[in-house]
Structure 1
Amino acid sequence: MQFFDPSILQSGQYHDWLVQGLILSLQLTAASFVIALPLGALVALMRTSTFAPLRAAGATIVEGIRNVPLLAHLLFWYFAFPELLPDSAREFLYANNPEAVCAVIAMSLYSGVHMAEDIRSGIRAVPASQLEAARSLGLGRFKAVRQVLLPQALRASVPPLLSQTVNLWKDTSVATVIGAAELMYQAARVETASFRSVEAFTFATLAYLTVSLLISFAAHLYQRRYPVRPA
């Protein structure tokens, strides 16, 4: 008679793997968003600048990044980028979770240029008279943009930026191709170790769905609280 079933411990281990993958996916999303948002704001300001070379540089960044698939970005930053680094920097990268670091770099750039286009639309939605009024009050162009134009543009851009955040959350699943131990990687690991395909991928599916719906619900609440009014 068997009094102890080792599969009980294994089930707990599989659960831990899935939870660890979910946590890493959330961390990748948060870290990428923190980098992508200011990057998007900077590129949007470049694209709306009155200085032609800055506009050209902004357009080059956007078109050069968003027209390359995220998968290609991930593979470049993970396999090619470390080879361009000095030996000491490469060793430091390899000693500090290179899969997660390279995933954050790739997703930050990819999401950042898409956010830039949303913020640029928000900037265009702000009446030009707002900037002119700020300048007439004695603010320099930089202060007028930072204190008057950009806050209004970001507020108008919140709904599409939240949609981009949903895309960013779902895009973390692609990081499995470079070995980042995020949710899809761990679900596949559980399936390989236990053949529990239904449980592993149902957990992953429900996790992606739940977080996506929470972000979408936040966007809905924001739109109800701050409806976009015509200028």
Structure 2
Amino acid sequence: MRYQPDWSVITNNLDIFFKGMYLTLEISALSLLFAIPIGILFGVGRISKNPIIRFISSVYVEVMRGVPLLVILIWIHLVLGQFLKLGAFWGSIVSLAIFSGSFIAEIVRGGIQSVPKGQMEAARSSGMSNFQAMRLIILPQAFRKTLPPMASQFIILIKDSSLVSTISAVDLTLKATNLAAISYRYIEIWTFVALLYFAMTFTLSLIIRQFEKHWLKSEY
């Protein structure tokens, strides 16, 4: 028998989908909030003159970038979650923050290395310590260069957050999965979910483009 679409499953459950969207954005935003300081810390560590700090930072970045996010989510949920009592919500945020932090670390490292070396030399010659020069001179300049890729990382984070449903975090994907299991309207539900994810990421992409245009104009 030919399949007959029934889109009433969407209109009758819009509150469920929009609540799932909100939770997805909340998880993504909080993860990014924690991922940024992690990324800055290890990004600076990657170019540290201290070999131990540089080694630790490099190991963190390479391990996190080399292990699938799904594995990290499950490991943190099953291992750290048992000791810290994180729960699915905070376990998801910790996992995403640690995972995204490694990518942000590379963004930060690239931003710092794009600042001319003469800036550090000038700061040091004026009497600043390495820490002061990095905090007051180098990082502010690097920050301007890293904002666009940081914003793009947030879009990637939203898409990656769909995996948190595997540890029972109640996001858009899990709500859709539960609703589909009850209604058996898989085509309608997952089509709509795909459109919602596209709407979130595309809207953010437009905002980022406008921000980049404004940012470039302000530089001249």
The alignment's TM-score, normalised by the length of structure 1, stands at 0.84
Alpha-carbon deviation of 1:11?
A: 6.0
Aligned match of 1:157: 146
Q: 1:106 to 1:10 in 2, by over 3 A?
A: closer
Alpha-carbon deviation of 1:199?
A: 3.5
Aligned match of 2:5: none
Which residue identity does 1:177 align to in structure 2?
A: T
Q: 2:158 aligns with which of 169, 178, 196?
A: 169
Give 3-state SS (helix, strand or coil) of 1:227's partner.
helix
Alpha-carbon deviation of 1:137?
A: 2.5
Q: Which moved more, 1:131-140 or 1:149-158?
A: 131-140
Say whether residues 1:207 and 2:196 are aligned partners: yes
CA distance in 1, matches of 2:106, 2:192: 34
Q: 2:125 aligns with which of 122, 136, 140?
A: 136
The alignment's TM-score, normalised by the length of structure 2, stands at 0.88
CA distance in 2, matches of 1:10, 1:39: 39
Which residue identity does 1:152 align to in structure 2?
A: Q
Q: 1:190 aligns with which of 142, 157, 179?
A: 179
Q: List alignment gaps of at least 5 residues for structure 2.
A: 1-7
Alpha-carbon deviation of 1:105?
A: 0.7
Say whether residues 1:76 and 2:92 are aligned partners: no
Alpha-carbon deviation of 1:43?
A: 0.4
Aligned match of 1:22: 21
- Alignment check: 8 A CA contact 2:40 2:105 kept: yes
CA distance in 1, matches of 2:122, 2:37: 25
- Pairs within 5 Å for 1:216-231: 216-227=205-216
Alpha-carbon deviation of 1:109?
A: 0.5
Aligned match of 1:43: 42
- Measured on the aligned residues, the alpha-carbon RMSD in Å equals 2.0
> 1:34-80, CA deviations, whole angstroms, 9 ceiling, x for partnerless residues?
00011101101000111111111110111121111000001001112
Q: List alignment gaps of at least 5 residues for structure 1.
A: 1-7
CA distance in 1, matches of 2:103, 2:10: 42
> 1:125-157, CA deviations, whole angstroms, 9 ceiling, x for partnerless residues?
000111122222222221110111111112111
Which residue identity does 1:20 align to in structure 2?
A: K
Q: 1:60 to 1:9 in 2, by over 3 A?
A: closer
Q: 2:136 aligns with which of 127, 130, 147?
A: 147
Q: 1:67 to 1:9 in 2, by over 3 A?
A: closer
Seq. identity, %: 31
Alpha-carbon deviation of 1:191?
A: 1.2
